[in-house]
Amino acid sequence: MKKAFIADLEAGRRVSSEFLLQGKERKNARTGSAYLDLELRDSSGTIKGKLWDCDRITADFDVDDVVHIEGAVERYQNVLQIAVRDIRACRDEPIDLRDFLPKCTQDPEEMYEALLERVRREPEGPLKQLLLAVLEDPALAAKYKLAPAAMVLHHAYLGGLLEHVSSLWQLGDMLADHYPWLNRSLILAGIVLHDLGKIEELSFQRAFRYSTRGQLLGHISMAVEMVQEKIRAIPGFPAMLKAQVEHMILSHHGKLEFGSPKEPMFAEALALHYLDELDSKLESVRAQYEAERDRPGDWTSRNRALGRELLKAESKDERRDAGDKAPRPSGVSKAQAATGAAAQQRALALEKS
């Protein structure tokens, strides 16, 4: 059982615990001796580790291994790191990966059942058939429940995709209530399917990474491919409706420069784009406020999703009180929120939003 979590570490504390090894680079110190620059993570955050004079040990570990660390926490340039005394791969010990990857605190099974129940309330027709063909596929369902919504910028934790979609289908129903002339079923279909490719684009068995195929194709084209396969199994699926569903997936990023090969060209596609933008950007803002609530001054650091600093309109105490009393829209812990904001600074270049 894991004994210590990164969010609880303090300078001067000795460490004897397991971590997921996210990065390993051999470097040379000023003295000429070799050392390993390590990036360690668990479900509460990330921390750097330094293994000085690394040639004294047998390196039987590699990136994506769960490793046992012996060492001490120290502060360097006002940032905590672990001075590693010993490190070994955990080969035979039982490992619960939920201890090592950030995860949603809401129950994925409950969220998935609520989504299924919402789809089952739809009127009978080809869209309902399509959505159930996707959601009731056991192989797809298992991945849909676990996948993050992104690598870094929003909902970047286990269950993040499902949490994002759960938020969106509720927003979609409210939007359709306000604009009753919109096709509610088509909006729901776009919400459920628009990020379906993320379950294959992203690898989330250990560290969050892009799969080889995901790196080559991207989640938008992969989602279209997966939906086309399901549609082929539905006799008489209308050709125009198929094109509309495909267009909503292709255009949901809104702009060509943001990765969409088409821009939204009908009302429901436009609605999907703006709902997706709203939910992802507000989650990014919420996570940054949470992570930087103790940052001095009236402004956050630069929010990379928005490209600007954010005004902390409330005092730290007021925001802390509000955060403690109000439910967290994303369902992530304070430590996980801090993890997401810190990861933005390191990995934005890899993000595909």
Give the pLDDT confidence of 224-276 residue by residue, as tens digits. 999 999 999 999 999 999 999 999 999 999 888 888 889 999 999 999 999 99
Phi-psi category of 89—alpha, beta or left, where left has phi over 0 and alpha has psi -120 to 50? beta
pTM of structure: 0.73
Amino acid at 189: A
- Average pLDDT rounded to a whole number, residues 169-188: 97
Q: Which is more confidently placed, 115 or 315?
A: 115
Per residue in 30-53, pLDDT (tens digit) is 888 899 999 998 888 889 999 998
The full set of domains in the chain, from first to last, is 6-98 (2.40.50.140), 104-281 (1.10.3210), 282-350 (no CATH)
- pLDDT of 317 reads 54
- For the ranges 2-16, 156-170, 256-270, 304-318, which has the lowest average pLDDT? 304-318
Give the distance, in angstroms, between the CA of residue 89 and the centroid of all CA atoms in the same chain. 26
Dihedral over Cα of 142, 148, 151, 157: its sign: negative
Which residues are paired to 290 by β-bridges?
Answer: none
pLDDT tens digits, 205-219? 666 777 889 889 989
What is the Cα–Cα distance from 151 to 207, expressed in whole angstroms?
10
68 contacts: CB under 8 Å, gap ≥ 6: 16, 17, 18, 87, 88, 89, 90, 93
